[in-house]
């Protein structure tokens, strides 16, 4: 028999979340971000569930081509653009839109002389300082694209650094408006957080990511408060039970020592499955639908759950690591990370089960 750990991917939840996002997007089209294997959910499964969206955004040419092979005919955007001139021909052949964020990419386009029109998203660095042209260079970059006869399908884009916290988007939005003002092109700005909090950022294309998967983009707002439903539930089981007396230590490093008689459940899940090794004692976990806590150090294939207050729990009891009944952001917060990392980290050895 296989190890009892598996992920259930709820395609109905994905469809529901897309509907919630569509309500917030207004008239803007939705570029669903499904990079990183659909945030760990399985890109093909996510794409099929979100087939009614207006476009998909990915990180690599291979992901984009896979979508075309699945039969997707609508827009696909390469969020980091091309990494070499050889990818431009593939973008032409497969009708893949390219993010352009530095002058080397423009030089590659000029040298390749694509035979057919390319869709381009010209990216402004409005303050995140990751990708994009500096404001003083933006119009020069745009002029170079305009001079190319096969680069007439242009969308202007930027990305917010702090749409999910109290700092907000006002500073960046001012830079964006100054650069984009009166330019006759569509605009793409909003990520999940901006989509929910800042209607002024909607533009013509929105690019939701984490909200599609049912996790909140905000540290201070639960996903359920946004009417989002978790798309991934990570399941396992208790595979052994240990009884500890006061003074007994648990697991590698003896990081937890019992101060009372304790029942400990050994869970078939570890950091090789994608669970964070740094999750401390006290991280929430569900056993038989009841909330309890992890104990000690997470090892490669196993971890520990406190069963002391759960007399009905025993070997074979069902465990939920995150998902339905236990928001992934609650686990992430306890582990000092974010839900994105947990979802994307699901290991290949953890299968999907219906």
Catalytically active residues, by annotation? 35, 252
Provide the terminal-to-terminal Cα distance of the chain, rounded to the nearest Å: 17
Q: Could you give the 3-state DSSP secondary structure of residue 30?
A: strand
* Cα angle, residue 80 at apex, residues 26 and 344 outer, rounded to 5°: 80
Tracing tokens 């917030």 back to the chain, one arrives at 24
Of 87, 95, 84, nearest in space to 62 by CA: 87
Q: Quick one: residue 31, left, alpha or beta (phi over 0 = left, psi -120 to 50 = alpha)?
A: beta
List the beta bridge partners of residue 205: 29, 188
Q: How many angstroms separate the CA atoms of 267 and 305, rounded?
A: 7
Inter-residue contact 120 to 151 (CB < 8 Å): yes
Q: How far apart are CA 187 and CA 337, in angstroms?
A: 31
Number of Cβ within 10 Å of residue 225's Cβ equals: 10
């Amino acid at each position: 028999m296989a190890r009892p750990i598996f992920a259930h991917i709820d395609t109905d939840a994905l469809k529901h979340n897309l509907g919630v996002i569509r309500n917030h997007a207004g008239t803007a089209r939705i570029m669903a971000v499904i990079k990183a294997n659909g945030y760990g959910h399985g890109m093909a499964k996510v794409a099929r569930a979100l087939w009614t969206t207006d476009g998909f955004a990915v990180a690599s040419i291979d992901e984009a081509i896979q979508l075309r092979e699945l039969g997707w005919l609508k827009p696909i955007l390469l969020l980091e653009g091309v990494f070499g001139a050889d990818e431009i021909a593939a973008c032409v052949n497969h009708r893949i839109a390219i993010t352009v964020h530095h002058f080397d990419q423009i030089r590659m386009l000029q040298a390749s002389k694509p035979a057919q029109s390319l869709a381009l998203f010209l990216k402004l660095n409005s303050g995140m300082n990751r990708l994009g042209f500096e404001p003083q260079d933006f119009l020069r970059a745009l002029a170079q694209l305009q001079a190319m006869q096969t680069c007439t399908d242009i969308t202007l884009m930027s990305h917010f650094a702090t749409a999910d916290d109290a700092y907000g988007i006002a500073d960046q939005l001012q830079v964006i408006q100054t650069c984009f003002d009166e330019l006759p092109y569509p605009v793409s700005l909003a990520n999940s957080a901006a989509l929910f909090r800042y209607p002024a950022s909607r533009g013509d294309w929105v690019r939701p990511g984490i909200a599609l998967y049912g996790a909140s983009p905000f540290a201070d707002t639960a996903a359920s408060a946004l009417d989002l439903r978790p798309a991934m539930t990570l399941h396992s089981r208790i595979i052994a039970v240990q009884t500890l007396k006061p003074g007994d230590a648990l697991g590698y490093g003896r990081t937890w020592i019992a101060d009372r008689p304790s029942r400990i459940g050994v869970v078939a899940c570890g950091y090789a499955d994608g669970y964070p090794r740094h999750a401390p004692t006290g991280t929430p976990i569900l056993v038989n639908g009841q909330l309890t806590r992890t104990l000690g150090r997470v090892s490669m294939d196993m971890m520990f759950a406190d069963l002391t207050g759960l007399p009905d729990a025993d070997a074979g009891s069902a465990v939920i690591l995150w998902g339905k009944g236990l928001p992934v952001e609650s686990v992430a917060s306890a582990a000092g990370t974010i839900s994105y990392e947990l979802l994307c980290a699901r290991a290949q050895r953890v299968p999907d089960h219906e």
